Structure 1
Amino acid sequence: MTINVLMRTFNLLSSRSICTDLGARLKRLRLAQNLSQQQLAEMTQSSLSSVRRLESQGQGGFEFVVRVAQALQAVDQLEGLFAPSVDSIAQAEREQVLASRQRARVPRSASGSADTLKSAT
């Protein structure tokens, strides 16, 4: 129940606040494993300043965040990131179709179809 409340709270926060909160969570994970920032930097083959910036400001590249999660043995927590929520067979089938798409659809105008838009350009 608490997890759902925390997840819904993210919807109300700015991107900066979310990143700062995630950095603080990573810091708590690091401290729970009794690791120093320097040790984590070495484990992730990154600089001490990168670890400090991630923990204090939530700033760092996505690959770096993944490396930190790997070092802290928390990769399983990334598995649900951007994963589709499937509640029915029909929704699972739609997700499978969407997964095979390579690009977004051309939006249709109020006066015509997507083909009309292409021929007008």
Structure 2
Amino acid sequence: MDWYLQVIRKYTVFTGRAGREEYWYFVLINILISIAMGFIDGFLGLGNGYGTGLLAGLYSLFVLLPSIAVSVRRLHDIGRTGWWVLIILIPLLGWIALLVMMAFPGQPDNEYGLKISNAD
């Protein structure tokens, strides 16, 4: 949970690096919270019938900026510019390419700074 809160605290930090642990733990906890929000929406009848309810929609807005920021920092960790996050605009292939890039180990040092942890 510390990784998740760390990303939320650095929601406007687009500089520096984010290791694989920080990124993937944020994604995991984000998915679990989204599923829980979906169940709560369904239980309370707040869904719109298309899979998105009020709580899930508000939560998605809440984590939009932190998600972009941690993705940019993760791309910095592998030595790519943050603009690569826009590759998701390419249907299907963009998402796959970004997913593969996020799985790469971080570089020891690059123009964005020294490696964050030894876990990568």
TM-score, normalization by structure 2: 0.31
Pick the structure with greater CA Rg. Answer: 1
Q: Kindly indicate whether structure 1 or structure 2 has the higher relative contact order, using CA contacts under 8 Å at least 6 residues apart.
A: 2
